[in-house]
Amino acid sequence: MAIFKGRTVEEAIERGLKELGISKEKAHVHIKQTEKKGFLGFGRKLAEVEIDGIAEDVIMQADRHAVRGVPDEIRAQAEPVKSASEATVELSKVVSAVKQAEEGDAKKNSSKSEVGADKLAATVPTELASEGNEFLENLDEKTTLAELAKYLTKITKELGAPALVKISRDSTGVATLSLESTKQGILIGKHGKILNSLQYLSQVFVHRVAEGKVSVIINVGDYREKRKEVLTRLAKRTAENVKRTGQPVFLEPMPAFERKQIHAALAKDPYISTHSEGDDPYRYLVVEKSGRRI
């Protein structure tokens, strides 16, 4: 393991990750010493951390372990990841489908939409146009959801898994758009990566066109319900691991509502604290000790 120093633990970790050229998800971090301010300039000590990169085969093994307990019918739809590059492959499928859908609209409207593949957010054009020549903006909630349903219909068709989109609302006002298709596995993707990409894309769409705040969840079959059960078990296992080792755990990137589910599952544990880091769609959750002695 390589040792890195900084004025704070966070600075030492950031410096180490940058020098090693890896992300937190691919690193094992051990805090050797926290920073000490000292007194009148004496006794001051820098924070020290040890960082070691995790081999890709170990990451894949951990990834497979994380989905243990998922029902067979769901696992059949979302096979384990075989290589670290598959996340990029899954994302490229959605980007390609969005391009095809938008090119179709561009031909109808005799206008062009800018599409970038570097970030999923860039796949939504700056100005969203309907099938007429009017641009979509400042829409009420009902119209926003209807336009999003049409947008998702086009994308699922280009993905080779045409879906019927049904809209429902729960008691909190959150709208769920259920994609009904005979090819659910394609829309879910390995470990739900396609579905999560569609979720993020939908959030960007709603943010761009809605007049007010509209919360949406994209679901395929009962995947979200099964996923919630898995996340609850993951949260409890992670908390026990943190309490046993004393080391923080960095979970894989996941949508905001999934992070909230883990927050909620651990909210009543006085010895555990959770917070999010990073930027969507790669924002992830950190589970660590709260500072209270067990």
Only one residue has tokens 């006794």, namely 43
Average pLDDT value for residue range 146-162: 91
Contacts of residue 213, Cβ cutoff 8 Å, sequence gap at least 6: none
Is the previous residue joined to 281 through a cis bond, with omega within 30 degrees of 0?
Answer: yes
- pTM of this prediction? 0.55
Contacts of residue 170, Cβ cutoff 8 Å, sequence gap at least 6: 176
> Are 190 and 80 spatial neighbours (Cβ–Cβ below 8 Å)?
yes
- Confidence at residue 34, expressed as pLDDT on a 0 to 100 scale: 80
> Are 94 and 120 spatial neighbours (Cβ–Cβ below 8 Å)?
yes
Which alpha helices (DSSP H) does 161-275 contain, by range?
184-188, 193-209, 223-245, 256-266
Residue-wise pLDDT tens digits, 254-286: 888 889 999 999 999 999 999 998 877 678 899
Instruction: Please tell me the distance from the alpha carbon of residue 154 to that of residue 163, in angstroms, as a whole number.
Output: 9
Q: What is the largest CA-CA distance in the chain?
A: 72
Residue-wise pLDDT tens digits, 175-211: 999 999 999 998 998 878 889 888 888 888 898 889 9
Ordered by where they begin, the domains of the chain are: 82-221 (3.30.300.20), 231-294 (3.30.1370.50)
Residue-wise pLDDT tens digits, 224-255: 999 889 999 999 999 999 999 999 999 988 88
